[in-house]
Chains A and B, each alone.
Chain A
Amino acid sequence: MKTVNIMIVGVGGQGSLLASKLLGHLLVTEGYDVKVSEVHGMSQRGGSVVTYVRYGEKVYSPLVSTGEADYIISFEKLEAARHTPMLKIGGQIIVNTQQIDPMPVITGNAEYPENILDEHKNKGIKVDAIDALTLAKEAGSVKAVNIVLIGRLSTYFPFDKELWLRAIEETVAPKFVEMNKKAFLLGRGE
């Protein structure tokens, strides 16, 4: 099989590490070779953060380069736009419709592009936009945005729902398992 490339992007502090941990765990359990590249340090302080998840028979590089991503999961609209050049032609974006203004926008030195997701769609880029923040609140915590998005991602993958739910049980702290399962199912539209 060809290596599958997933990017998880967002704003530092939004919880991309748990999303990649869950994905990595599931993929290893399924017997794939997996590499997950995380970001620590400076960029976690509200900056733009990127995590790469790659899996297949044999994965060498931990990185995803321009035009290579099969999926981009974005926790925020602008971050999806920032990383679209990494998407393969025909690749899929899954994006949380939340808007978080970056400092240059807050200080009035730049503008937040208003209709950025429509712009993508008009270019023929496949965008699956969901209000993950509202769904996360419904599940019980705004912090569950990551798992809502993983839920949506799961609908594009051939793995059984049960495998994903088991991965949640095995990677999330016990007291948050039920809430995250609910978030996952809401992300799937169930």
Chain B
Amino acid sequence: MKELLIGNAALARGLYEAGVKVVSSYPGTPSTEITEFAAKYDEIYCEWAPNEKVATEVAFGASLGGARSACAMKHVGLNVAADPLFTLSYTGVRGGMVICVADDPAMHSSQNEQDSRHYAIAAKVPMLEPADSAEAYSFAKAAFDISEKYDTPVMMRMCTRIAHCQSIVETGKRDERDLIPYQKQPEKYIMMPGYAKKKHPVVEERTRALTEFAENCEFNKVFFAKNSDIGIVTAGTCYQYVKEVFGDSVSVFKIGMINPMPVKSLIEFAGKVKRLIVVEELDPVIETHLRTIGLNPEGKSLFSNIGEFSQMDIKKILLDKTEDSLHADSPVPNRPPVMCPGCPHRGIYYVLAKLKLTVLGDIGCYTLGATPPLNALDSTLCMGASVSGIHGFNKARGVDSEKNTVCVIGDSTFMHSGMTGLVNIAYNASNSVVIILDNSITGMTGHQQNPTTGYNIKGDPAAKVNLEELCRSLGIPRVRVVDPYDLAGCETAVKEELAADGPSVIISRRPCMLLKYVKAKPALTVETDKCRSCKSCMRLGCPAISIKNNKAVIDATQCVGCGVCEQLCKFDAIKEGV
């Protein structure tokens, strides 16, 4: 059946047809939909794990148990999963196992622009890189055959423009597979020095065998143009840009298996062209391989290693051509993403900004509190770093910072890797205040359930972590809950916990306004006569409030009646709607 699918849905379809039984993942743009689509198939057991390391180890366990399994994560999630990855390369698999990782060149929704291809090379595992949805589908299926034949996990590298681009896929049927019988094999699955030393040479031999396989494999495609001296080596989405610009007018070596790359066939290709060019986004991974095998291509001497490309970059750099266009002369103001009207994070951020606190932040929707007018954050590093970071900050700066520093972390991020930092705070006697922004969902990635929500990936009721009890059990005596819509209550709680000795946790709890079960109240209105244009309400950075003709105006199509701005108006000008 022919369908228009985003790359992630196509990949999920590939997993399904390959007979995958277990998928465990942590959400992260642009990888999230792989698991969401996999969860639509009843034949696959699918789950959200608390983090990528857990997810990868669950997939390993399923493979050990004889099933085909997969996990999916964004590029930075792979950092978290790197520990199991490197040793999985040694153990190999029982049932085929595929690790899907989605890079985000241009950082549409990420904190860095790392290139996951390095991981495949470093961990010595094969990596496939599809260039459209049809390949995401077919490569995913084939990945399991490679995994089982060569006894290795296989990585599937996606990027934003493959993961979130719809193209046509012709789908087939599921290959339902029996479990491979379990067999105890200590020398294969117990990686202690004695056994691991025997496995490393096996891994090296596997790479040699896979390099041989890469010479003529179905994933790499070579096209020779009739009258061209130019030969381009490319992969993934860059292949599409190259074809868009050149069609069949240049020779192209399309690499679909990014690790290991072939040697002989690339040398042969290079020998048939006069000008050898590598087109790849981010780091010179293909280029470095070509240099290692004695070739001398042009690559990063022409193209940037920053951001994503488009056909325009190829055209401009290789053909010196641009397209004309028109535009109006007035400057166009930026439209950065903002916290939504009624966002529960806004109230607590307002209080933190008002108290002029130093705030170590974390990864999620609430990172948007860093932007004007709240300017509420001082740092955002990676998942969980707020909780670990505030401890270091306070240990370094002592009493001065302890009284005016807090950290903020979301419920899902806290489950992911905030807990361990909190254990450290308790264990190493930190005088730190941790604020958990509990909006009862994983927000930024599009509302995934997590261990604190009480529901699983299918929306069925599940065990629910009680954050208050958890924090107390981890060794934090002072744990309290506030409603972020109650500004006075938040301010009191923050001041008291900063003043108290020893570590505290404040749980700022209110569900995300975008959740279906959260009902908006009628939009608030401004009594124009009473508005003195003090702009107190503007300090919230609510997209529903603006100043028109020197008076505050509330946009009724956006306002959800949260009432936070009402608490700021000294002149009683903001009224509840009806």
A→B interface (CB under 8 Å): 11-13, 20, 24-25, 28, 33-48, 59-63, 65-68, 78-79, 81-82, 84-89, 100-113, 116, 119-120, 123-125, 142
Q: B549 interface residue, CB < 8 Å from A? A: no
What are 27 A-B contacts defined by CB distance under 8 Å? A24-B166, A25-B4, A33-B168, A35-B167, A38-B165, A39-B108, A40-B33, A40-B164, A40-B446, A45-B338, A45-B339, A60-B311, A62-B165, A66-B312, A68-B312, A79-B335, A81-B332, A84-B325, A84-B327, A88-B323, A103-B371, A104-B333, A105-B333, A108-B538, A110-B331, A111-B333, A116-B328
Q: How many chain B residues have a CB neighbour from A under 8 Å?
A: 59
B535 nearest CB neighbor, chain A only: A108
Which chain B residues lie closer than 8 Å to A110 at the CB level? 331, 333-334
A29 nearest CB across to chain B (Å): 10
Q: Is the pair A47, B108 in contact by a Cβ cutoff of 8 Å? A: no
Which chain B residues lie closer than 8 Å to A43 at the CB level? 108-109, 337
Q: A28-B2, A81-B327, A84-B327 are in contact. Are A41 and B311 (CB under 8 A)?
A: no
Q: B330 interface residue, CB < 8 Å from A? A: yes
B247 nearest CB neighbor, chain A only: A60
A103 nearest CB across to chain B (Å): 5
Given contact pairs A34-B4, A81-B328, a sample of 5 additional A-B residue pairs in the complex whose CB atoms are under 8 Å apart: A13-B340, A34-B167, A60-B241, A103-B336, A119-B329
Alpha-carbon gap, A155 to B32, bound state (A): 36
A87 nearest CB neighbor, chain B only: B325
Which chain B residues lie closer than 8 Å to A11 at the CB level? 335
Q: Is the pair A61, B538 in contact by a Cβ cutoff of 8 Å? A: no
In the A-B complex, list the 5 residue pairs whose CB atoms are closest, starting with the nearest.
A67-B323, A41-B109, A41-B29, A47-B337, A65-B312
Alpha-carbon gap, A37 to B325, bound state (A): 22
Which chain A residues lie closer than 8 Å to B538 at the CB level? 106-108
B512 nearest CB across to chain A (Å): 11
Which chain B residues lie closer than 8 Å to A78 at the CB level? 332-333, 335
Alpha-carbon gap, A89 to B334, bound state (A): 24
Q: Is the pair B164, A37 in contact by a Cβ cutoff of 8 Å? A: yes
Which chain B residues lie closer than 8 Å to A107 at the CB level? 372-373, 538, 541
Q: A35-B165, A41-B30, A101-B546 are in contact. Are A48 and B323 (CB under 8 A)?
A: no
Q: Is the pair B326, A125 in contact by a Cβ cutoff of 8 Å? A: yes
Proximity string of chain B (343-383) to chain A, C-beta cutoff 8 Å, 1 when within and 0 when not: 00000000000000000000001001001110000000000
Q: A46-B340, A62-B165, A103-B371 are in contact. Are A40 and B546 (CB under 8 A)?
A: no
Q: A35-B167, A103-B543, A107-B541 are in contact. Are A61 and B338 (CB under 8 A)?
A: no
Alpha-carbon gap, A18 to B445, bound state (A): 18
Which chain A residues lie closer than 8 Å to B338 at the CB level? 45-47, 103
Alpha-carbon gap, A106 to B546, bound state (A): 5
B33 nearest CB neighbor, chain A only: A40
Q: Restricting to B6-27, which residues have a CB under 8 Å from any CB of A? A: 6
Q: Is the pair B322, A66 in contact by a Cβ cutoff of 8 Å? A: yes
Q: Is the pair B168, A42 in contact by a Cβ cutoff of 8 Å? A: no
Q: B557 interface residue, CB < 8 Å from A? A: yes
Which chain A residues lie closer than 8 Å to B108 at the CB level? 39, 41-43
Which chain A residues lie closer than 8 Å to B336 at the CB level? 47, 102-104
A27 nearest CB neighbor, chain B only: B4
Q: Is the pair B332, A113 in contact by a Cβ cutoff of 8 Å? A: yes
Alpha-carbon gap, A146 to B368, bound state (A): 27
A62 nearest CB neighbor, chain B only: B165
Q: A38-B165, A102-B334 are in contact. Are A85 and B372 (CB under 8 A)?
A: no
Alpha-carbon gap, A24 to B4, bound state (A): 7
Alpha-carbon gap, A39 to B446, bound state (A): 12
A37 nearest CB neighbor, chain B only: B165
Q: Restricting to B497-512, which residues have a CB under 8 Å from any CB of A? A: none
Q: Is the pair A47, B335 in contact by a Cβ cutoff of 8 Å? A: yes
A56 nearest CB across to chain B (Å): 11
Which chain A residues lie closer than 8 Å to B29 at the CB level? 40-42
Q: Is the pair A36, B333 in contact by a Cβ cutoff of 8 Å? A: no
A38 nearest CB neighbor, chain B only: B164
Which chain A residues lie closer than 8 Å to B331 at the CB level? 110, 113
Q: Is the pair A89, B324 in contact by a Cβ cutoff of 8 Å? A: yes
Q: Is the pair A105, B161 in contact by a Cβ cutoff of 8 Å? A: no
Alpha-carbon gap, A123 to B325, bound state (A): 11
Which chain B residues lie closer than 8 Å to A38 at the CB level? 6, 164-166
Which chain B residues lie closer than 8 Å to A61 at the CB level? 240-241, 243-244, 310-311
Alpha-carbon gap, A12 to B365, bound state (A): 14
A3 nearest CB neighbor, chain B only: B244
Which chain B residues lie closer than 8 Å to A119 at the CB level? 328-330
Q: Is the pair B310, A65 in contact by a Cβ cutoff of 8 Å? A: yes
Q: Is the pair B164, A89 in contact by a Cβ cutoff of 8 Å? A: no
Q: Is the pair A39, B164 in contact by a Cβ cutoff of 8 Å? A: yes
Alpha-carbon gap, A64 to B9, bound state (A): 22
Q: Is the pair B325, A88 in contact by a Cβ cutoff of 8 Å? A: yes
Alpha-carbon gap, A6 to B144, bound state (A): 37
Q: B152 interface residue, CB < 8 Å from A? A: no
A105 nearest CB across to chain B (Å): 5
Q: B545 interface residue, CB < 8 Å from A? A: yes
Q: Restricting to B87-130, which residues have a CB under 8 Å from any CB of A? A: 108-109
Q: A43-B109, A60-B244 are in contact. Are A65 and B326 (CB under 8 A)?
A: no
Q: Is the pair B2, A89 in contact by a Cβ cutoff of 8 Å? A: no
Q: A28-B168, A35-B167, A44-B337 are in contact. Are A113 and B4 (CB under 8 A)?
A: no
A64 nearest CB across to chain B (Å): 8
B114 nearest CB across to chain A (Å): 17
Q: B444 interface residue, CB < 8 Å from A? A: yes
Question: Per a CB cutoff under 8 Å, which of A37, A66, A103 touches B323?
Answer: A66
Alpha-carbon gap, A182 to B427, bound state (A): 63
Alpha-carbon gap, A24 to B444, bound state (A): 26
Q: Is the pair B327, A60 in contact by a Cβ cutoff of 8 Å? A: no
Q: Is the pair B541, A123 in contact by a Cβ cutoff of 8 Å? A: no
Q: Is the pair B165, A116 in contact by a Cβ cutoff of 8 Å? A: no
Alpha-carbon gap, A20 to B166, bound state (A): 10
A24 nearest CB neighbor, chain B only: B4
Alpha-carbon gap, A113 to B331, bound state (A): 7
Which chain A residues lie closer than 8 Å to B334 at the CB level? 48, 102, 104, 110
Interface centre among B541, B545, B546 (most CB of A within 10 A): B546
Q: Restricting to B427-472, which residues have a CB under 8 Å from any CB of A? A: 444-446
Q: B394 interface residue, CB < 8 Å from A? A: no
Q: B302 interface residue, CB < 8 Å from A? A: no
A120 nearest CB neighbor, chain B only: B328
Which chain A residues lie closer than 8 Å to B164 at the CB level? 37-40
Question: Per a CB cutoff under 8 Å, which of B132, B310, B541, B547 touches A103?
Answer: B541
Q: Is the pair B543, A35 in contact by a Cβ cutoff of 8 Å? A: no
Which chain B residues lie closer than 8 Å to A45 at the CB level? 337-340, 365, 368, 444
Alpha-carbon gap, A84 to B244, bound state (A): 22
Alpha-carbon gap, A189 to B4, bound state (A): 30
Alpha-carbon gap, A108 to B550, bound state (A): 11
Q: Is the pair A65, B445 in contact by a Cβ cutoff of 8 Å? A: no
Q: Is the pair A42, B541 in contact by a Cβ cutoff of 8 Å? A: no
